[in-house]
């Protein structure tokens, strides 16, 4: 999960990981991104966009469009998150019956 801070960049807790992404092999890694965003800020979900770009630059395969969820998810956003997780787990052949 990625949070976008007020300035529209990366949250301080993600900055080190972001920098290190350029030092490891990501080719072929399947990635799905989701995060909390806030329409109050002009760069809605910008941190997700930055992370997605970094993964792509270093060869990772983005398997779904990043899921940007407003701070407090509405029911349709919660359904979208469950759908994303189900699709990813099905790809990996993981049983989802235990997931609420």
What's the pLDDT at 24? 82
pLDDT tens, 62-80? 888 888 888 877 888 888 8
* Nearest CA among 99, 92, 100, 96 for reference residue 31: 92
29 neighbors 56 (Cβ within 8 angstroms): no
Answering whether pTM is above 0.85, one says: no
CB atoms < 10 A from the CB of 7, how many? 12
Compute and round to an integer the Cα radius of gyration of the chain: 14
pLDDT, average across residues 12-19 = 81
| Residue 3, pLDDT above cutoff 70 | no
Predicted local distance difference test score (pLDDT) of residue 6: 62
Walk me through the domains of the chain, giving residue ranges and CATH numbers.
12-71 (3.40.50.360)
pLDDT (average), residues 6-17: 76
């Amino acid at each position: 999960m990625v949070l976008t801070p007020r300035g529209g960049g990366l949250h301080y807790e993600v900055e080190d990981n972001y920098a290190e992404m350029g030092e490891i092999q990501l080719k072929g890694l399947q990635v799905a991104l989701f995060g909390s965003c806030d329409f109050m800020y002009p760069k809605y979900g910008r941190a997700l966009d930055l992370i997605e770009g970094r993964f792509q630059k270093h060869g990772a395969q983005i398997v779904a469009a990043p899921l940007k969820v407003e701070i407090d998810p509405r029911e349709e956003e919660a359904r979208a998150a469950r759908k994303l997780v189900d699709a990813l787990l099905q790809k990996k052949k993981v049983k989802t019956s235990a997931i609420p």
